[in-house]
């Protein structure tokens, strides 16, 4: 097997990752990857620091990215945006609004936990979140309180969609997220599609909205699932992307940067499309 040189799905402390952008770039650079995308939830705040850190690694390029959460009935679809013009003021104020929505919703979950007899301090959750606050920060606070051993345990019973302490926030529709990304010159890519029931049903509408790619090479996907997704991408004319979705949670079995990802040829295609968009 040829070594993976590309990881297009990585989180930092600007959302729910636990390495700051410098630490993340140093880890990825140390693994001799050629291309990485920084894809924090609702934030591009790590880009400046990441671009500074990558100077030390002349063979590594960083694609500016973002990951947006969207709702469909009974499920959640995540949309990645690559090569976004993150200096756009309107785009930044939209991301800011999403992050504000995350705060209210996290407070609601913390209060539900307290009612369940599992109090965590709200100040602690905020301390754990340098950027966009998310459920993993609440899960971490629960680990610290000794309620659970690993963050993912919190999702099963409490913080997952069906969990006892789950709270909603207002989210985009998937098609709106595609439009938001293309509106700032970005390339929309449907994230971890196997996490969505019958994801195929959404693809025609999303393609219509401007979807360009779909993740195929994802953490934990079996060879059979990868082949099925490659076939789907091929049939739909979507670029097969992917990456580790690394958060540095330190949980057993966590995929590391470079453990999974698309070929270098795929990033050539993405760079070519980004160039075309910029020429327009």
Where on the chain is the footprint of Zn ion (CB under 5 A)? 16
Q: Binder to ligand AMP among 9, 13, 14, 16 (CB under 6 A)?
A: 16
- Which residues between 166 and 195 bind Fe ion (CB under 5 A)? 191
Mapped to the 3 state alphabet, what secondary structure does the chain carry?
A: CCCCCEEEEECCCCCCCCCCHHHHHHHHHHCCCCEEEECCECCCCCHHHHHHHHHHCCCCEEEEEEEEEEEECCEEEEEEEECCCCCCHHHHHHHHHHHHHHHHHHHHHHHHHHHCCCCCCHHHHHHHCCCCCCHHHHHHHHHHCCCCCCHHHHHHHHHCCCCCCCCCCCCECHHHHHHHHHHCCCEEEECCHHHCCCHHHHHHHHHHHCCCEEEEEECCCCHHHHHHHHHHHHHHCCEEEEECCECCCCCCCCCCCCCCCCCHHHHHHHHHHHHHHHHC
At its nearest, how many Å lie between Fe ion and the CB of residue 81? 12
152 binds, among Fe ion, ligand AMP, Zn ion, none (CB under 5 to 8 A by kind): ligand AMP
Q: Do 3 and 232 form a contact (C-beta atoms < 8 A)?
A: no
Which one of residues 5, 9, 18, 41 is an interface residue with ligand AMP (CB under 6 A)? 41
**Choices 92-100, 165-173, 215-223, 237-245; region in contact with Fe ion by CB under 5 A:** 237-245
Within 62-121, which residues bind ligand AMP (CB under 6 A)? 69
CB nearer to Fe ion: give 65 or 118: 65
β-bridge partners, 10? 38, 246
Contact status: 46 vs ligand AMP (CB under 6 A): no
The residue number whose beta carbon is nearest to ligand AMP equals: 134
By CB under 6 A, the count of residues binding ligand AMP is 11
Query: Does residue 18 touch ligand AMP according to CB under 6 A?
Result: no
Calculate the dihedral angle through the C-alpha atoms of 219, 222, 224, 230, rounding to the nearest 10 degrees.
10
215 counts as binding Fe ion under rule CB under 5 A: no
CA angle in degrees (0–180, nearest 5) for 21-221-59: 35
Stretch touching ligand AMP by CB under 6 A, among 90-98, 128-136, 220-228, 234-242: 128-136
Residues in Cβ contact with 169 at an 8 Å cutoff, skipping those fewer than 6 apart: 101, 102, 104, 105
Q: Which is nearer to Fe ion, 118 or 138 (CB)?
A: 138
- From the list 85-93, 133-141, 208-216, 260-268, the region that binds ligand AMP by CB under 6 A is 133-141
Q: State the minimum distance, in angstroms, from the CB of residue 149 to ligand AMP.
A: 13
Closer residue to ligand AMP (CB): 119 or 160:
160
Assess 29 for contact with ligand AMP (CB under 6 A): no
Our finding on whether 135 is near ligand AMP (CB under 6 A) is yes
Shortest-Cβ-distance residue relative to Fe ion: 78
Q: Among residue numbers 147 through 206, which ones bind ligand AMP (CB under 6 A)?
A: 151-152, 155, 160
Q: Which residues bind Fe ion (CB under 5 A)?
A: 67, 78, 191, 245
Q: Which residues bind ligand AMP (CB under 6 A)?
A: 16, 41, 69, 134-136, 151-152, 155, 160, 247
């Amino acid at each position: 097997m040829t070594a993976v040189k590309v990881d297009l799905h990585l989180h930092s402390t600007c959302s729910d990752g636990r390495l700051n952008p410098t630490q993340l770039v140093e880890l990825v650079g140390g693994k001799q990857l050629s291309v990485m995308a920084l894809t924090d939830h609702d934030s591009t705040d790590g880009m400046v620091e990441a671009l500074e850190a990558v100077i030390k690694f002349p063979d590594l390029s960083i694609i500016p990215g973002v990951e947006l959460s969207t709702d469909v009935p009974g499920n959640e679809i995540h949309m990645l945006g690559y090569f976004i013009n993150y200096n756009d003021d309107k785009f930044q104020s939209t991301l800011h609004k999403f992050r504000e929505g995350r705060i209210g919703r996290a407070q609601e979950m913390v209060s539900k936990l307290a009612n369940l007899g599992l109090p965590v301090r709200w100040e602690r959750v905020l301390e754990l979140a340098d950027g966009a606050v998310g459920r993993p920060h609440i899960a971490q606070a629960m680990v610290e309180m000794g309620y659970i051993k690993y963050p993912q345990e919190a999702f099963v019973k409490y913080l997952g969609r069906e969990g006892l302490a789950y709270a909603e926030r207002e989210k985009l529709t998937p098609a709106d997220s595609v439009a938001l990304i293309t509106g700032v010159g970005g390339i929309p890519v449907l994230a971890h599609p196997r996490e969505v029931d019958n994801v195929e049903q959404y693809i025609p509408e999303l393609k219509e909205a401007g979807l360009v790619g779909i993740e195929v090479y994802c953490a934990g996907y079996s060879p059979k699932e990868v082949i099925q997704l490659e076939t789907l991408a091929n049939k739909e004319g979507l670029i097969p992307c992917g990456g580790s979705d690394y958060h540095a949670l330190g949980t057993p079995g966590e995929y590391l940067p470079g453990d999974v990802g698309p070929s270098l040829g795929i990033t050539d295609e993405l760079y070519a499309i980004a160039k075309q968009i910029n020429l327009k």
